[in-house]
Chain A
Amino acid sequence: MIKEFWLNAACVALLLAVVLAGAIFDEPYYITLATKVTILAMAGVGLNLALGYGGLISFGHAAFFGIGGYAAGILASHALNYEPLATWPIEIGGTTQMLVIWPVAAIVSAVFAAVIGAFSLRTSGVYFIMITLAFAQMIYYFAISWPSYGGEDGLSVYLRSEFPGLNTMNGASFFAICFVWLMAVVWGSSRMVNAGFGLALQATKQNAERVEAVGIAPFRIRLTAFIISGAITGVAGALYVDLNRFVSPSMLSWHTSGEIMVFVILGGVARLFGPLVGAALFIVLEQSLGGITENWQFWLGAILIVVVLFGRGGAIGLLAKEVRHD
């Protein structure tokens, strides 16, 4: 058994090593894969805040991933086509500046999370799972039937958005941006989990009645966590669109919700780096087994079962010591 810190450090080092190898041996595909892992991990970090620390089993996080993605895609496509987003009452143009796209993606996702959360958090357990799924599916079908932005075919963005001082079309540069984002949200989560808010959130997960009795409203705590969670996943969605230069309704589908859940559960529920481990395992399996058989997800399922049954809270739980109570 090793300390969780060293395990986390090793995972991050491995991720960086893949990018370095990709750069040295001129294999951009490795860098793309590592970037994909990083972005998906970030989406998972968002969900982990709600699911892991708050016990809110959201089966609708694809909504935020996709909304962040569409926010990025719509802004960039308008800018690239020189079409204003709105002409009345004032003219608003699109933009390809990441520094504008990110806050927009975060705010739009947060607003949706606030609305979805305000309804869903009145329920719990299996009803919460179903109602979050229902909201996400509503948005999915809306996107499919929205012809202005490609409908079912999705929307291509032929250039990656810009970041001051970096050539984002360079794989390593774009990876660096995503990596900094991932580290920032992991750091932010760690601060939040250990702060007063995190104490209340984790208490609410275990015993809401007790939390009420000490004068803290569980609903407000949960809703706040859900909004922050949605915003993080939304920004990840915006980055994902830039990675692929494409956004489609599939980002909003329940498969995506399920995959984000798998990252969290495979890696480790309520573990800071769980989503990174989970996303990395997922992509490695997809790449290695996917080359051998079309039905690689059968093996993913088998591994998930083993991890859930025998790992105390995911792959990190299999390898690392018990969480410290400090």
Chain B
Amino acid sequence: MTEPVLTINGLSKSFGAVVACDQVSLTIRPGEIHALIGPNGAGKSTLIKQISGALRQDTGQILIGDQEVSALNIVDRARAGLARSFQVSSVVPDFTALQNTMLAVQGREGMSFRFLKPVLKNQDLVEKARACLTRVGLAGRAEVPAAKLSHGERRNLEIAMALALNPKVFLLDEPMAGMGAEGSKALTALLAELKAHTPILLVEHDMDAVFTLADRISVLFYGRIITTGTVDEVRRNPDVIEAYLGGDSP
């Protein structure tokens, strides 16, 4: 068994009487895409916020590799090797695609306290940023301000920025949302290629993409992980069928 890249151990979070996250444990192993699914309100967002550092857990631990990051803030977790994309695209609107990616390269290299050298003339950094844009198919759009990119292009730009961080693990929050059939297909192919190098925790509503990509799936229901397994195991699991089709959840 290889060491997991991301380990979540007994994570719990309550808001008053509401238990949004109940003893959640999961691991991301090298080379895998681990999908996290669950009906609306299952606690996916709460879990993601805790992993990224936006929300502090009540109990439990989070490890990136063998480094405990439970007490670190967002910035330090990013520096520890966690790259995320946002559910609603989050880029710097007035920056070009290239400048956005440069920002990520700069964050990784820790070069934000350079005051004199024009950063966009640093060929080494620009090359790295362009390489990331090329991988997501945005090479030809490098000089376009992010605000003028299409929705799908902005999603890809977020992936490029995550790539530029050269992280240990990706945390992708609904990357397919609003992508359109063509875009989803291209992104699916890209993620399948990426996972060999960097494993992915994928939160996604697009079940076609999840079933195509995921090596393992965890199903979250009312803050609990009700099962973790391969695509076939999860599809056949009666609890999952109940959670998705039964009673009170859409």
Contacts and interface: CB of A to CB of B under 8 A. Distances in A.
Interface of A: 191-192, 194-200, 202-203, 206-207, 209-217, 221, 224, 325-326
A29 B188 CA distance: 71
A210 B74 contact: no
Interface string B86-110: 1000111111100100111011101
A215 B119 contact: no
Contact of A206 (B92, B102, B104, B106): B92
Interface in B114-133: 114-120
B233 interface: no
Contacts of A207: 90-93
A195 B119 contact: yes
Closest 10 CB pairs of A and B: A214-B107, A215-B78, A200-B112, A196-B114, A215-B107, A215-B79, A194-B118, A214-B104, A212-B74, A196-B119
Nearest to B171: A213
Contacts of B119: 194-196, 198-199
Contacts of A214: 78, 103-104, 106-108, 161, 164-165
B120 A194 contact: yes
Contacts of A212: 73-75, 78
A217 B76 CA distance: 9
A210 B91 contact: yes
Given A199-B103, A207-B91, A325-B143, A213 B116 contact: no
Contacts of B108: 214-215
B interface secondary structure, majority:
mixed
B105 to A, nearest CB: 9
A272 B247 CA distance: 62
Interface residues of B, number: 40
A199 B99 CA distance: 8
Contact of B112 (A191, A197, A213, A325): A197
A45 to B, nearest CB: 15
Contact of A216 (B73, B96, B112, B145): B112
23 contacts: A192-B116, A195-B114, A195-B117, A196-B106, A196-B111, A196-B119, A200-B112, A203-B95, A206-B92, A206-B94, A210-B90, A212-B75, A212-B78, A213-B83, A214-B103, A215-B79, A215-B165, A216-B75, A216-B103, A221-B112, A325-B96, A325-B145, A326-B120
Contacts of B120: 194, 326
Contacts of B143: 325
Contact of A200 (B52, B86, B96, B103): B103
B29 interface: no
A198 B94 CA distance: 14
Contacts of B113: 196-197, 224
B115 to A, nearest CB: 5
B84 interface: yes
Contacts of A195: 114-119
Contacts of A200: 103, 106-107, 112
Most buried by A among B86, B93, B111, B165: B111
Contact of B115 (A191, A209, A216, A217): A191
A50 to B, nearest CB: 15
Interface string B129-147: 0000000000000010100
Contacts of B96: 325
Interface in B31-63: 52
B95 to A, nearest CB: 7
Given A197-B112, A213-B83, 8 more contacts: A195-B116, A196-B106, A196-B113, A198-B119, A210-B90, A213-B52, A214-B103, A214-B107
A196 B90 contact: no
Nearest to B116: A191
A213 B91 contact: no
A195 B120 CA distance: 8
A200 B108 CA distance: 12
Contacts of A221: 112
A190 to B, nearest CB: 9
A216 B107 contact: yes
Contacts of A217: 75
Contacts of B74: 212-213
Nearest to A218: B75
